[in-house]
Chain A
């Protein structure tokens, strides 16, 4: 077979709004989840339109040639959470999915030392043993337990939370052998999986929901360096320190991804992450879905107590029996809905709770175009370490201090930085010999104590990042050709995520499972019949996963099968 190239940019990959129309389903937002939902609905034979407010598709999954010859993954930069079901059911490889693995993680340390973890476990043992022989040994046990946790999450992610809750609740209440609730065999299987967990595994799971990652990791490791290195995954995208209770769950979120069955593996999409969105868009279009950019939706239209379509900001109206929103709850359950329209008393409460949804951004992105490969003091020569992740997190205190600065309303002067060099993984990202450096940076709060983010503050933040990098890769400041600095208000403005929170809301117990994004809308359905949620604020949350959108679309199709409606007919099982 031939892998068809996917356009790496969202540019020009949608069509501008052209008036109204009548559809079976409307999807609000052309981020990866909106596109996945549309692809599933179109695949089942529905007439689907995706409405995107910005000129480009992709949402936070976008690439752009910000400077001639240099291609940036603007926001999200690696792929691991993308559900295998989505990849294979939508045939994404044929549409251009091309994931190059990032095999190692380098943590440069002050003074030219480092902590290096490679794909080969024995080599990683030797690297870690330089710092602690006990920890090097413990790492095997830890990784095994985390793979088991990843596997548990794999099962949990396969069903909507309400289905799981029903089955698990039934089992616990009745202690019965048989399952009494009306659920699919697969859901029953998942529930059994969860209920049959050994006590030790259940304990780890509860620990991950509640503990700080520093304490959680402390159960295995003595080395502060290793704990800090492993903690990186516990703070990404979250306004948490590794010492904040609950951060261990974010760690789990980053361990439940997989590449082809291997947990905790990450891949770089050729062309940048925008090509993932382009790939899903191609799949959706191949099934007949229409994607319209520059089409901001103003509100959901309601008729006879059901969602009946949407009104665009320009006044055009599109009608459909199903409306799905991939936007964050402040938009989906707030701005787009008139509380009066929502049946019963749910409306006002829904909007109010959506407004209180915790989703302040905490991260910035600094994308650099550089004239040559960075020379890290610990490993100055080019080598395999440059095709893996590189993280500046030289100690728990270091991260905690960076967090403290943000807690009091500043950005971190010496921030946590998670880097990759996309042009090493994909030479098409930069001109020959030149490179792009992607820096995910924490902490950068959405609101600064010293007033709004402006260009001055943005550049000061960029300077802090470069200054920090230069401590580990001396001379990098002279290699920089171009710099792109993005802070939470930019993420909000460009990707349309309120607060600029990359997960559409913090991943903490109060916002997970049956509480995500709202007790009345936790299973993709909302109190308004015909109106569904399918974005990162549902189910297991953010990351380029497509998992929530897939389950949401399947639920829509289930509901349509139950509803004999003139508007939608002939729905086939995907």
Chain B
């Protein structure tokens, strides 16, 4: 509700006063004396008496026969709403947040299958099963609303300095117009988060992250000339992913040379085919391991962007896709997820849950040769000498092993059509002790293998190492023989290729 104007215009003052008096009557505070009300509202008793008389005559409040105190009438309009009740502060139960694309996504979500993501209500799958949406990512194109990401703008002469202080990557080498994927750690070198940083100028960057980190950035920048702002709610983000993404992006926007855009480039353009469609920023990034782009748009232009992409995608097999399909694709791409594949140090109640970037498979984001000192540097230098204790690996269970396990209960493998599981499951040395845990796994219908992301002791992490992973076979739990493999599981050349829009697979 809009705030009450401080100085009401002439003639409306009496109405405001009457309403304020009326709101004093609630189920919790049903009776008030005249003197009490007058004092509480700063009114002369005669004014209060006159106003309360009108309210009583209109049947909005009553009068106690014994005490003559004014009294709440159940059901009377305007009372009992507690707006100015001294015992309530006006907070209503929180409703799910809506992304700027909500009206579009909800109109298409025939399954009603939704899930919370950072307070936002997000589509799990538009159709009853995520299958078509998953295949759209690999075979045509999919449009995924990833707006719930937290977004922070770092602006000021020291913006680059702050990033170089906080992040493990080297921002002195990040050119304007590029996006840098990076980790950030605490002083102990334990991983806090991973995320993308858009380099918009030397003094302006945009960080996107899965979890809040405003305070961390602000605290790390204490004394620097940089403004860290949370711009999460004002920006909608759409991921357009799949082999047809370039053709669709090209048709849906103007002012961007998509053929020239390299992996992790960014560019600014306009929505639609002509001018005036509204500004949009495009990054060649994504969470599917496929050719793809992410579109960053001010909330007021979000629906125009959605419509332009959907129109352009109609002839290319574009489907809106939900989080289940995204999760399947990111697993094939071998991309780790915070809170699933690793625990942020801020959430790790016990020491053993904390990991360094290298232990989460993000060692490539740590640049110990960079000039700037950064949070966690000393610890990570020690780790470099000592070596990490854990490694993030890909696990692969082949088809014949699945057949063997399911034939024990006389079934064919019951693995297809299931979304990625986030239930951690133990990983063992063959026939032996637990050496780690598999945190994301599913049967990839594309690769026709059961694949998983696992954190294991480094001694068990060499590609080709045989390990056992626990799988559910009917009601039973069995150890399936798995092999350590390189990530990503799926890595098509089109992901990073430049040039005209690719058509065919590859």
Contact = CB atoms under 8 A, between A and B. Distances in A.
A428 B138 CA distance: 12
B264 to A, nearest CB: 20
A493 B131 CA distance: 39
B129 A1 contact: no
Interface in A430-478: 432-433
B403 interface: yes
B505 A270 contact: yes
Contacts of B406: 261
Interface in B401-416: 402-403, 406, 410-416
A428 B140 CA distance: 9
Interface in A1-24: 1-5, 8
Contacts of A424: 317
A98 B411 CA distance: 24
Nearest to A119: B129
Contacts of B506: 3-5
Contacts of B417: 119, 262
Interface string A41-77: 0000000000000000000000000000000000000
Interface residues of A, number: 41
B465 to A, nearest CB: 17
Nearest to B406: A261
Nearest to B448: A93
A258 to B, nearest CB: 6
Interface string B383-407: 0000000000000001110110010
B139 A427 contact: yes
A260 B504 contact: no
Contacts of A263: 412
B49 to A, nearest CB: 65
B505 A101 contact: no
Interface in B209-262: 244, 247
Given A154-B412, A260-B448, A432-B315, A120 B128 contact: yes
Contacts of B414: 261
B316 interface: yes
B14 interface: no
Nearest to A122: B128
Interface string B489-506: 111110000000001111
Contact of B402 (A2, A5, A259, A261): A261
A432 B316 contact: yes
B447 interface: yes
B416 A433 contact: no
Interface string B32-74: 0000000000000000000000000000000000000000000
Contact of B505 (A120, A154, A258, A271): A271
Given A2-B491, A120-B128, A261-B414, A98 B140 contact: no
Chain B binding surface SS class: loop
A122 to B, nearest CB: 8
A432 B247 contact: yes
A103 interface: yes
B490 A384 contact: no
A101 B445 contact: yes
A8 B504 CA distance: 10
B244 A261 contact: no
A120 B129 CA distance: 7
A387 interface: yes
A426 interface: yes
Contacts of A154: 412
A101 B131 contact: yes
B319 to A, nearest CB: 9
Contacts of B247: 432
Given A258-B412, A432-B247, A1 B448 contact: no
Contact of A119 (B128, B490, B505): B128
Interface in A63-117: 84, 87-88, 93, 96-101, 103
A88 to B, nearest CB: 4
A250 B413 CA distance: 25
B348 interface: no
Q: Which among A103, A119, A261 has the greatest number of chain B C-beta atoms within 10 A? A: A261
A271 B504 contact: yes
Contacts of B402: 261
A89 to B, nearest CB: 9
B135 interface: yes
A261 B412 contact: yes
A19 B27 CA distance: 101
Interface string A220-246: 000000000000000000000000000
Interface string B106-130: 0000000000000000000001110
Contacts of B491: 1-2
A123 interface: yes
Contacts of B411: 151
Given A271-B505, A428-B504, A260 B413 contact: yes
A145 B78 CA distance: 64
A446 B212 CA distance: 71
Contacts of A317: none
A88 B128 contact: no
Interface in B398-449: 398-400, 402-403, 406, 410-417, 443, 445-449
Nearest to A430: B315
A274 B383 CA distance: 53
A387 B398 CA distance: 29
Contact of A98 (B131, B403, B443, B446): B446
Contacts of B445: 99, 101, 259-260
Contacts of B399: 84, 87-88
B131 to A, nearest CB: 6
A118 interface: yes
Nearest to A150: B412
A88 B132 contact: no
Nearest to A147: B412
B317 A427 contact: yes
Nearest to A263: B412
Given A1-B491, A384-B132, A427 B140 contact: yes
Contacts of B412: 151, 154, 258, 261-263
B447 A260 contact: no
Contacts of A4: 506
A260 B415 contact: yes
A119 B398 contact: no
**Top 10 closest A-B pairs, CB basis?**
A433-B315, A432-B315, A261-B412, A5-B506, A261-B413, A260-B416, A427-B317, A120-B128, A88-B399, A427-B140
20 contacts: A2-B493, A3-B505, A4-B506, A5-B506, A87-B399, A88-B398, A88-B448, A93-B447, A98-B139, A259-B416, A261-B402, A261-B403, A261-B412, A261-B413, A262-B416, A263-B412, A424-B317, A425-B139, A432-B247, A433-B314
Given A88-B399, A103-B132, 4 more contacts: A2-B491, A3-B506, A98-B139, A384-B132
